């Protein structure tokens, strides 16, 4: 596993996470429960549309450039035209479909807000187009820099406009401005040598279509529930559930750093039939995911109220029951995304597409069954049940294809350490913001000490991270 690549991708993702959640926290406090609920619902629809334009071609760039870096210029000449035509087409369809979207959610005002939000589609599409090149060429440092600039300007533009009194409208205008800056910087950072243009793989179109289907299906898995909540519940419940959903997506956001590194690295290993590298990549990726996500899910059960209050304020405490069910479910989504990326590297896009479409149908069925009866709690239950099924199937396919997954001793050690963390956090609950921050630091020390004691984290792991940080910042 390329530790340095993972570290750089993780830095970029931390910057994105800090910016994204800085924006969400600011908006939750500034707009109030109902205003924030309106923003979250509209933003979920925008992201669904944007996955159409950032999932297919940018992800294809990562794969095909990693496989044939000598043909980067030829791939660019073909894929740029595809991206432009396709993005404009999707934008037009979304714009004219906006009245139907508003009526289906039972809120006509969402239509006009959604049309304003669509300003972001084209710059966002081409930011990720240029980012796909950097990842495919394994220029992870350049990707990290561009991503940090993109995230920073998103934060600055959105918070400035909302602070100046432009409310939800200002948030979406600022969102588009941030993407525009990211697109321009990404273009400036792209440097390709003009080489002889070679034919692009005949599988490119098939891969792109399958990737779009997969990305939309994956996106629906964490947005279907909030659309049902919007349709069946009151505005304040939508705001509570939106806050819980925002917190619960943290593991998935972190997993993007891993999947961005896994796809090109594993595609190259599969192409070279390097079974040792494939096995090591699977073990280390899933090991890191478990080490990060399992304790987070445990901590939400014991300190969920304190976490929600610290981040969003006491007025969002009404969503704590949703958070406790939804967070483990969306943590499973993060692992599901990682295992599916492993399948994609070996011509598994069709399988992954079928899987997420099936799970989306399952989620719609469960939400339609549970939300009218249990309100927003039913939405959280439906999402978590769906993703339990998804992880089980996806992990089974990884074992079938690669004859390995993650060592059982790793699973046992991580869950044992997380249980220890749960006991400590259950026995002591912070009373204010300062004790909460100090408590998180203490619990982190307890957790990693337990992992070190059980041998899951070794001195060699610590030394690798130390050397990597020193090399990066000195």
Task: Give me the residue spans of the domains in the chain.
Answer: 3-406
Q: Positive or negative CA dihedral for 90, 126, 42, 173?
A: negative
CA-to-CA dists, residue 396 to 339, 382, 393, 403, 405, angstroms: 9, 22, 5, 10, 9
Q: How far apart are CA 451 and CA 443, in angstroms?
A: 12
Residue 109: predicted pLDDT: 81
The neighbour count for residue 141, using CB atoms within 10 Å, is 15
Residue-wise over 383-396: b if at least 16 C-beta within 10 A, else e? Answer: bbbbbebbbebbbe
Confidence class for position 351, pLDDT limits 50, 70, 90 = confident
Mean pLDDT (whole number) for 36-46 = 93
Q: How far apart are CA 213 and CA 354, in angstroms?
A: 8
Confidence class for position 412, pLDDT limits 50, 70, 90 = very high
Could you report the per-residue pLDDT of 64-119, keeping only the tens digit for each? 777 777 667 777 777 888 888 989 999 999 999 999 888 888 887 888 999 999 99
Could you report the per-residue pLDDT of 161-212, keeping only the tens digit for each? 999 999 999 999 999 999 999 899 888 877 655 555 555 556 677 778 877 8
Helix (H) or strand (E) holding 266: helix 250-271
Could you report the per-residue pLDDT of 279-327, keeping only the tens digit for each? 988 998 899 999 999 999 999 999 999 999 999 988 999 999 999 999 9
Residue 59: predicted pLDDT: 76
The neighbour count for residue 147, using CB atoms within 10 Å, is 27
Q: What is the pTM for the complete model shown?
A: 0.85
Q: How many CA atoms lie within 13 A of 112 on its CB side?
A: 4
Residue 467: predicted pLDDT: 55
The neighbour count for residue 71, using CB atoms within 10 Å, is 20
Residue 90: predicted pLDDT: 93
Say yes or no to pLDDT of 361 above 90.
yes
Percentage of the chain lying above the pLDDT 90 cut: 53
Mean confidence (pLDDT) of the chain: 86
The DSSP 8-state label assigned to residue 199 in this structure reads: P
Q: How far apart are CA 371 and CA 324, in angstroms?
A: 17
Of 163-167, 213-217, 436-440, the one with minimum mean pLDDT is: 213-217
Confidence class for position 229, pLDDT limits 50, 70, 90 = very high
CA-to-CA dists, residue 273 to 259, 286, 308, 352, angstroms: 20, 21, 47, 21
CB 208 within 8 A of CB 60: yes
CA-to-CA dists, residue 445 to 172, 301, 370, 461, angstroms: 40, 19, 40, 16
Q: How far apart are CA 225 and CA 98, in angstroms?
A: 20
């Amino acid at each position: 596993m390329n530790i340095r690549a993972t570290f750089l991708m993780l830095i970029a993702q931390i910057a994105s996470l800090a910016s994204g959640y800085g924006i969400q926290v600011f908006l939750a406090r500034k707009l109030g429960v109902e205003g924030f609920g309106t923003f979250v619902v509209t933003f979920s629809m925008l992201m669904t549309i944007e996955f159409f334009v950032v999932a297919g071609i940018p992800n294809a760039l990562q794969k095909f450039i990693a496989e044939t870096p000598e043909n980067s210029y030829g791939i660019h000449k073909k894929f740029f035209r595809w991206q432009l035509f396709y993005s404009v087409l999707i934008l037009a369809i979304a714009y004219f479909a906006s009245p139907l979207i508003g009526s289906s959610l039972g809120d006509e005002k969402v239509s006009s807000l959604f049309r304003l939000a669509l300003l972001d589609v084209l710059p966002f599409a081409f930011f990720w187009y240029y980012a796909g090149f950097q990842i495919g060429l394994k220029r992870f440092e350049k990707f990290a820099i561009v991503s940090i600039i993109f995230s920073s300007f998103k934060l600055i533009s959105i918070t400035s406009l909302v602070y100046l009194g432009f409310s939800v409208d200002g948030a979406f205008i600022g969102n588009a401005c941030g993407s525009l800056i990211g697109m321009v910087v990404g273009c400036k950072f792209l440097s390709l040598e003009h080489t002889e243009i070679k034919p692009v793989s005949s599988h490119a179109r098939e891969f792109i279509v399958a990737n779009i289907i997969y990305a939309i299906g994956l996106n629906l898995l964490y947005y279907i529930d909030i659309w049902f909540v919007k349709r069946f519940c009151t505005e304040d419940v939508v705001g509570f559930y939106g806050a819980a959903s925002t917190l619960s997506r943290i593991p998935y956001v972190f997993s993007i750093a891993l999947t961005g590194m896994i796809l090109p690295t594993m595609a190259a290993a599969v192409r070279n039939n390097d079974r040792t590298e494939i096995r090591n990549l699977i073990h280390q990726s899933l090991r890191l995911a478990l080490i990060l996500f399992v304790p987070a899910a445990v901590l939400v059960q014991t300190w969920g109220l304190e976490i929600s209050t610290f981040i969003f304020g006491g007025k969002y405490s009404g969503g704590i029951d949703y958070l406790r069910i939804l967070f483990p479910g969306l943590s499973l989504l993060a692992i599901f995304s990682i295992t599916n990326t492993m399948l994609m590297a070996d011509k598994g896009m069709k399988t992954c597409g079928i899987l997420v479409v099936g799970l989306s149908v399952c989620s719609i069925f469960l939400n339609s069954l549970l939300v009218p009866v249990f309100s927003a709690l039913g939405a959280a239950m439906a999402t978590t049940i769906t993703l339990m099924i998804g992880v089980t199937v996806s992990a089974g396919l990884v074992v079938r294809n690669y004859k390995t997954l993650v060592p059982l001793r790793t699973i046992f050690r991580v869950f044992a350490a997380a249980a220890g963390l749960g006991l400590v956090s259950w026995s002591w609950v912070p009373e204010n913001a300062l004790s909460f921050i100090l408590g998180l630091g203490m619990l982190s020390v307890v957790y990693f000490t337990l992992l070190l004691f059980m041998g899951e984290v070794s001195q060699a792991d610590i030394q690798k991270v130390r050397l990597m940080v020193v090399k990066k910042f000195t």
